[in-house]
Amino acid sequence: MPTAEKRKTKGLVKFLVSAVIAIAGVLFLQQLLQPKYVDGVVEGAFVAEFYREENKDFDVIFIGDCEVYENFSPQVLWDEYGIHSYIRGSAEQYIMQSYYLLEDTLRYEKPDVVVFNIQSLQFNEAQSEAYNRMSIEGMEWSPAKVGAILSSMRPEEHFLDYVFPILRYHSRWSELASTDVEYLFKTKPVSFNGYYMRVDVRPAENVPTGRPLADYSFGDNAWSYLDKIVDLCAENDIQLLLIKAPSLYPYWYPQWEEQVDAYAAEHNLPYLNFLELQDEVGLDYNTDTYDAGLHMNLSGAEKLSHWLGAYLRENMGLQDRRGDPELDAIWDENRAAYQAEIAAQYERYGMKAD
Amino acid sequence: MLFTSYGFFGFLLILFLLYYTIPRRFQWVLLLLGSYLFYCISGPTNLVYILCTTLTTWYAARRIAANQQRQKAYLREHKEDLSREEKKSYREGQKKIRRRWVAGCLLLNLAVLGVVKYTGFVIANLNGILHAFGGTVELTWASIALPMGISFYTFMAIGYLIDVYRETVPAEQNPFRFALFVSFFPQLVQGPIGRYGDLAPGLLGEHPFDAHTVTRGLQRMLWGYFKKMVVADRVLTAVTTIIGDTTAYSGAYILFGMVLYTVELYADFTGGIDITIGIAEALGIPMAENFHRPYFSKSLKEYWRRWHITMCSWFRDYLFYPVSTSKWMLKITKAARSRLGERVGKRIPVYLCSFTVWLATGVWHGASWNFIVWGLANWVVLMLSEELEPLYAKFHARFPGLDNRNLPYKIFAVGRTFLLICVLNLFDITSSIGETFRALVSIFTAGNWPVLWDGSLLELGLTGLDYGIAGVACIIMLAVSLVQRRGSVRDKIYAKPYPVRFVLWYGLFLIVLLMGAYGIGYDASQFIYNRF
């Protein structure tokens, strides 16, 4: 080989090796700096956990914010009714994100029922970059994720920050913890089919009433995404159930309730407001909430799931799928983890199992 | 479009790819289109101003050049027919015509600059005067957003026009080629103020892809980003906090704030120029240097030879020399010498010319009394230094060891000059002259020195880690400047084995990536000199 050509080849090899090392280094740092959400604030891990599910042929998919992932237990729905369900929710998940998460879910299987919590109608647009991150980052790349990003970005955000998260988390090196190294290339489950469990109790006392608002109308953007959810369900032959979880706070205004009622009637959709079904469900805000009425604890979530399971079986025509060997095996494994977590939390909070 | 924005990186990437793939004869066309796109993004209406400057200057220069050609042809043709007197008279007549073109064009462009930049300031002062005399009329003016880079490109265009008039550069025949000189995008943000003779050959030439040249350009850019993003944008919060409330943050805070601002200004301005020159270098276009390790200066005079070199040389060549060699200045010199004696008389024109230059420098920096006083304060210090020169000479003669050959004295001189620059820079950032002086006086009267070490500085929006990063980055900048005294740092690194080079440059890249003040939680800030 002539010398010039040799030099050229050598230069090219040097460039390629350098480029590979440089890119690998940046990717490694990106992986290290991204929040792992395995302790403390674990909500950021919920969305990604869905993809690790072995059997995604769910009967019911819950979509929404903390009012679904803290208030319903898919384990109870399976154990009592044989309903195979999953919760696709994350903290303060905005309605546009719920729409795109539903679209993302439908890339795998079509559920029979989608349960959507309408609390997020109050936000016409995304309110917080941190919540955007927790809802969107865990999504696998697809047109749905692109849509979720574009519809949610706040003015200070950039699309590229989602493509290359190191640009967002570049300064996190100063707050790295041992879990960032431990879970560098692995993760651990933090939810139970999307359910975030808390067993502790903090009774609801002195619940504040809502302060008057200048305008009680939900925004056009929020309505348009509810329309999209309705259309998407209709196109895929999915029954849509609208719910309002029984959270005492943030305050649910009667004027909001009227609008949702009217919408459900207009679109011929079932709508359950659990704030009005407290007695029927048997909720006791002295024992069934862990944060003074904002969210249910395990006791409250199991009561709600028990009631909702019966409703779904009776009104949505869902079949009992217990007896399917594959699902039985999956849920047996889930149950073991679920009960282990209950035991661990009882111990952590110094409580006694009933 | 900020140099630190993703949009700008995308713009650069596309531009570089196209630049080295299209036929080379079209490279300058691409740069022109790119520059106008860049400028358009800063505000489409701004195009009106830059087009006005470009077209009027190009046309006036062509008329001047045509007149010069005509004059030469006429004199050649009538070499034998005309007497010496007739030739002289003809030349003077033609020169007058050319001068009219220069004056007309200058007036028009300076008027545009004056209207957009200074009208608000003039109106505010007129209103102040009217009110002082009991007037009730309030003059109003629709404020116009300052078009990006107008101070820089106007000066570049004026420099070109005068160069053509002086016949030091030929007039550009193609208006589009001239438009590229005026609008070349990297220098629109904060200069440097390029000269046509230096810049045009690079801008209009053909540049084959050369990996070494491109790499060197990218390295220079990276160094600029390090200064801007790791140092300047990081300390910005503390400077803004102190200057935002000089009543609450007085005394030691002011001292700290003005030192921090002087560091920020250096990192911001030199960093921005590094990025500008780096971009040009990667495109194969050489550009004039604007700094020569200015904070190593041992006097203010030396500092102004090393800081913002292209601006200072512009004022020297296009204002100081013309004023000092003008007929009226020669008359003043003569009169001063005859009335005040040789020694004092010969100083008068020096005072007047440098006063004009420093007044213009202050006005150029911004439409406010702060900048005017800042310019004149520089003038006073420089003149005083010159007048005290004999005293310094006596001192050095008395203490022969204490001069610039002595390292401790050199360090003292550098520190003294740095502190002086810090004080002068305070005029840049305070809102009024009164506030500047109050803030300065408070350094000696507030007596709050403990705030420098009792943790109060951690309440200025910067954490201990921020100070640590900025401090280490400053040490790196200082070390690089020290090494630079013995030649180009990039050349020294280039001489190292490839793995060492790779680790150094990749390390710098990672520092910018991980420690740069950008993204959520940081305010992306435009370069300080962009507002001038």
Reported as a single tens digit per residue, the pLDDT across A108-145 is: 999 999 999 999 999 999 999 999 999 999 999 999 99
CB of A6 less than 8 A from some CB of B: no
For residue B4, give how far its alpha carbon lies from the nearest alpha carbon of chain A (Å). Answer: 12
- pLDDT interval class at B523 (50, 70, 90): low
Tell if the CB–CB gap between A170 and B513 is shorter than 8 Å: yes
Three-state secondary structure call for residue A65: coil
Pairs of residues, one from chain A and one from chain B, whose beta carbons lie less than 8 Å apart: 39
Q: What is the mean pLDDT of chain B?
A: 91
Query: Which candidate from B502, B515, B520 shows the least CB-CB separation from A129?
Result: B520
B22-60 pLDDT tens trace:
999 999 999 999 999 999 988 888 899 999 999 999 999
Task: Give B-chain residues touching A21 at CB under 8 angstroms.
Answer: 502, 506
Query: Which candidate from B6, B498, B509 shows the least CB-CB separation from A160?
Result: B6
Work out whether strand A271-273 and strand A239-244 pair parallel, antiparallel, or are unpaired: parallel
- What is the C-alpha to C-alpha distance for residues B9 and B225, in angstroms, rounded to an integer? 12
Mean pLDDT in residue range B413-431: 93
For residue A47, give how far its alpha carbon lies from the nearest alpha carbon of chain B (Å). Answer: 22
Residue B414 confidence (pLDDT) above 60? yes
Residue of A nearest to B499 (CA): A18
Residue of B nearest to A161 (CA): B519
Mean pLDDT in residue range B166-193: 94
Task: Give A-chain residues touching B519 at CB under 8 angstroms.
Answer: 161, 167-168, 170-171
CATH number at residue A308: 3.40.50.1110
CB of A315 less than 8 A from some CB of B: no
Task: Give B-chain residues touching A29 at CB under 8 angstroms.
Answer: 510, 513-514
Query: Which candidate from A157, A166, A174 shows the least CB-CB separation from B513?
Result: A166
Q: Is A237 exposed, middle or buried (0-12, 13-18, 19+ CB in 10 A)?
A: exposed
Residue with tokens 């608000």: B120
B353-382 pLDDT tens trace:
999 999 999 998 888 899 999 999 999 999
A11 in a domain, yes or no? no
- What is the C-alpha to C-alpha distance for residues B314 and B308, in angstroms, rounded to an integer? 10
Answer whether the bond into residue B201 is a cis peptide, omega within 30°.
no
Residues of B with CB under 8 A from a CB of A: 6, 211, 465, 498, 502, 506, 509-510, 513-516, 518-521
Cβ proximity of B509 and B222 under 8 Å: yes
CB of A18 less than 8 A from some CB of B: yes
Chosen from B520, B522, B523 to mutate, greatest number of chain A CBs within 10 A: B520
Tell if the CB–CB gap between A171 and B515 is shorter than 8 Å: yes
Q: What is the pLDDT of residue A117?
A: 96
Tell if the CB–CB gap between B520 and A25 is shorter than 8 Å: no
Percentage of chain B modeled with pLDDT above 90: 71
Query: Which candidate from A25, A29, A168 shows the least CB-CB separation from B519?
Result: A168
Handedness of CA A309, A310, A315, A317 (dihedral sign): positive
Chosen from B463, B514, B515 to mutate, greatest number of chain A CBs within 10 A: B514
Tell if the CB–CB gap between B514 and A173 is shorter than 8 Å: yes
Count of other CB atoms within 10 angstroms of residue B200: 22
Tell if the CB–CB gap between A161 and B519 is shorter than 8 Å: yes
Task: Give A-chain residues touching B498 at CB under 8 angstroms.
Answer: 14
Task: List helix spans (H) across A34-65.
Answer: 46-49
A208 in a domain, yes or no? yes
The residue type found at B397 is A
Mean pLDDT in residue range B324-337: 88
Tell if the CB–CB gap between B513 and A26 is shorter than 8 Å: yes
* ∠ Cα B240 B242 B243 (to 5°): 65
Residue with tokens 């500085």: B457
Mean pLDDT in residue range B66-92: 91
Residue B167 confidence (pLDDT) above 60? yes
A7 in a domain, yes or no? no
At residue A242, φ and ψ (nearest 5 deg) are -90, 135
Q: What is the pLDDT of residue B431?
A: 85
Mean pLDDT in residue range B96-120: 92
| Nearest-10 crossing angle of helices B196-204, B150-165 | 100
Three-state secondary structure call for residue A160: helix
Mean pLDDT in residue range B136-160: 85
CB of A160 less than 8 A from some CB of B: yes
CB of A31 less than 8 A from some CB of B: no
* ∠ Cα B2 B6 B11 (to 5°): 80
Domain that holds residue A286: 54-155+191-348
CB of A164 less than 8 A from some CB of B: no
Q: What is the pLDDT of residue B525?
A: 59
Q: Is B259 exposed, middle or buried (0-12, 13-18, 19+ CB in 10 A)?
A: middle
- CA–chain centroid gap for B88, Å, is 40
CB of A3 less than 8 A from some CB of B: no
Task: Give A-chain residues touching B465 at CB under 8 angstroms.
Answer: 174
Domains identified in chain A, total number: 1
Q: What is the pLDDT of residue B397?
A: 85
Chosen from A32, A170, A172, A176 to mutate, greatest number of chain B CBs within 10 A: A170
Tell if the CB–CB gap between A168 and B498 is shorter than 8 Å: no
Q: What is the pLDDT of residue B530?
A: 60
For residue A76, give how far its alpha carbon lies from the nearest alpha carbon of chain B (Å). Answer: 41
Residue of B nearest to A128 (CA): B520
Residue of A nearest to B501 (CA): A18
Tell if the CB–CB gap between B506 and A22 is shorter than 8 Å: yes
Residue B531 confidence (pLDDT) above 70? no
Task: Give A-chain residues touching B516 at CB under 8 angstroms.
Answer: 170
Mean pLDDT in residue range B243-248: 87
CB within 8 Å of chain B, chain A residues 101-130 = 129
Complex ipTM over 0.85? yes
CB of A7 less than 8 A from some CB of B: no
Task: Give A-chain residues touching B502 at CB under 8 angstroms.
Answer: 18, 21
At residue A241, φ and ψ (nearest 5 deg) are -115, 120
Query: Which candidate from A14, A157, A174 shows the least CB-CB separation from B498?
Result: A14
Mean pLDDT in residue range B307-321: 94
Query: Which one, of B280, B361, B353, lies nearest residue B16 by Cα?
Result: B280
Task: Give A-chain residues touching B515 at CB under 8 angstroms.
Answer: 170-171
Tell if the CB–CB gap between B514 and A170 is shorter than 8 Å: yes
CB of A32 less than 8 A from some CB of B: no
* Mean pLDDT in consecutive groups of 10 residues from the start of chain A, 354 residues: 80 92 96 91 92 94 95 96 96 96 95 96 94 94 97 94 94 90 91 95 85 92 97 96 92 94 96 94 92 92 96 93 95 96 92 69
Q: What is the pLDDT of residue A332?
A: 96
Q: What is the pLDDT of residue B403?
A: 78
CB of A174 less than 8 A from some CB of B: yes
A164 in a domain, yes or no? no
Cβ proximity of A117 and A68 under 8 Å: yes
A25 in a domain, yes or no? no
A295 in a domain, yes or no? yes
What are the CA-CA distances from residue A126 to residues A97, B11, B14 (Å)? 9, 29, 32
Tell if the CB–CB gap between B514 and A29 is shorter than 8 Å: yes
For residue B513, give how far its alpha carbon lies from the nearest alpha carbon of chain A (Å). Answer: 7
- Residues contacting residue B101 through CB under 8 Å, at least 6 positions apart: B60, B63, B64, B67, B165
